[in-house]
Amino acid sequence: MEGGKGVQTRTLELLKRLSRELSDLDLGALIDEVEGAIEPAEFLRRYVGPNKPLIVRGGARHWPAVGRWDRRYLAETAGHETVTVAFTPNGLADAVTAAPLGGPEPLCFCEPHQRRMLFSEFIDAFFDSRRRWLAWRQKQQQQQQQQKPQQQQQQPQQQPGEEEGDPPDVPYLQAQNGSLTDEMPSLLGDVEEQLPWARAAFGVAPDAVNIFIGDERSQTTFHKDHYENIYAVVAGVKVFHLLPPCDAWRLGGASLPAATYAPCGAGGRLQPVVDTCKRRVTWSAVDPHPDDPAAAAARFPHFWDPSLPRPLVAELRAGDVLYLPAMWHHYVDQRPDEGCAEPWVIAVNAWTDMSWGAGYAHFKLVEALAADAGLLPAPQEDSGSGGGECGADGGSSTSTSGDGSGSSAT
């Protein structure tokens, strides 16, 4: 036992050293930025090869979509097309949430409830949900101001899904695997399926081009994708929190029963329903914006360890582009731009399959060492992407999910 514990401690120290050395030698504390475009050869040599992110400010500013995609234009141009829409009660698709009451485990990994509808119906649902949410939020704020702190503490906590006082369900357009090209082809004339410098560098057309439309309620939890990701913001603001592949162990992923939100009860409120096939998913519940920082640091000490590098942060506005390298874990939040005509966030990304070579082997070694040291569950075989804003494969957050963000919400 003592020997095993000593080995685990030594492994942890080596993983920490790897994290620090990568930051010191290459990544630094800030993501590199260029204006407009980058030469394909330089992009390959300095970023794709080293697996290093890059921000291209204004890289998609020339797209007609930037500035054109308002509510009226999108409804007239693509309103007739049928799209897949994710619905959740809290804006977290592909995320750790409380398991159904009475179940054997307190937490589960829950995927969104999906509905097929006309894009015009999605637009109406989005704005109706947002209007009701803003009214609900204002009412909550007024009640909190009127109530004394002691009265607030004495009030019984509501269980998720209770009818009274619930905010409306959150619709999010975030389907993966070619949602723009397959479901909304009428919009393709307003964007490039791949930016020219990226197309020249990768040497192939993208495997999938996806579209995301939501607001600040939708967030994408930490996950990774097996794709080189060129992510362009068309409207609003996206904020990516990035960890390199060698830092996967810092997320403290747990093996959880898989579930899917489904309408339940007379009111049809969305509740997690655990999969009957007893599928399990390894996922992280780390939130980079915790309500209780002390509790978050106690639950995920390696993520919040002050001696380790902080996640890199990329804040993108309309026309900006992020190169998100394959296998990087990312959490994505978003907000409408105050100067934008519409209160939504729109993005388009292009996925190109990664090189399954030395970088992937290196990641799998780190994952195995972390599991051996008790920092992660035993690794599962990766099966690819397909989930939220970046793709969740039902394997792990050492797998994929959404924006960018697998899904959850990127």
What pLDDT is recorded for position 311?
Answer: 98
Q: What is the mean pLDDT of residues 13-29?
A: 97
Residue 11 lies in a domain: yes
d(CA 43, CA 321): 13
What pLDDT is recorded for position 149?
Answer: 58
Residue 195 lies in a domain: yes
Q: Is the pLDDT of residue 391 over 60?
A: no
**Is the distance from CB of 123 to CB of 79 less than 8 angstroms?**
yes
Residue 382 lies in a domain: no
**Continuous H helices in 147-288:** 149-154, 179-183, 196-202
- The more confidently predicted of residues 176 and 205 is 205
Token pair, residue 218, equals: 């939708």
Give CA separation, 190 vs 73, 81, 184, 339, in Å: 11, 16, 11, 21
118-122, 256-260, 345-349, 394-398: lowest mean pLDDT where?
394-398
Residue 55 lies in a domain: yes
- The more confidently predicted of residues 378 and 92 is 92
What pLDDT is recorded for position 400?
Answer: 38
Residue 230 maps to which CATH number?
2.60.120.10
Tell me, rounded to whole angstroms, the distance of Cα 325 from its chain centroid.
14
Q: What is the mean pLDDT of residues 310-331?
A: 98
With a CB cutoff of 8 Å and minimum separation 6, the contacts of 5 are none
Environment class of residue 386 by beta-carbon count within 10 Å: exposed (0-12), middle (13-18) or buried (19+)? buried
Computed over every residue of the chain, the mean pLDDT equals 89
Q: Is the pLDDT of residue 260 over 70?
A: yes
- The more confidently predicted of residues 260 and 384 is 260
Residue 14 lies in a domain: yes
In three-state form (DSSP H/G/I as H, E/B as E, the rest C), the secondary structure along 50-105 is CCCCEEEECCCCCCCHHHHCCHHHHHHHHCCCEEEEEEECCCCCCEEEECCCCCCC
* Count of C-beta atoms within a 10 Å radius of residue 336: 19
What pLDDT is recorded for position 335?
Answer: 97
For residue 32, what pLDDT band results from cuts at 50, 70 and 90? very high
Residue 146 lies in a domain: no
Residue 397 lies in a domain: no
Q: Which domain holds residue 354?
A: 2-136+168-373
Taking phi over 0 as left and psi of -120 to 50 as alpha, with beta for the rest, 178 belongs to left
Taking phi over 0 as left and psi of -120 to 50 as alpha, with beta for the rest, 183 belongs to alpha
Which tens digit of pLDDT belongs to each residue from 193-245? 999 999 999 999 999 999 999 999 999 999 999 999 999 999 999 999 999 99
pTM: 0.89
For residue 158, what pLDDT band results from cuts at 50, 70 and 90? very low
Residue 327 lies in a domain: yes
Q: How many domains does the chain have?
A: 1
What pLDDT is recorded for position 101?
Answer: 84
Q: Is the pLDDT of residue 5 over 80?
A: no
Place of tokens 């090209």: 181
Place of tokens 């920092």: 375
Q: Is the pLDDT of residue 151 over 70?
A: no
Token pair, residue 13, equals: 């120290």
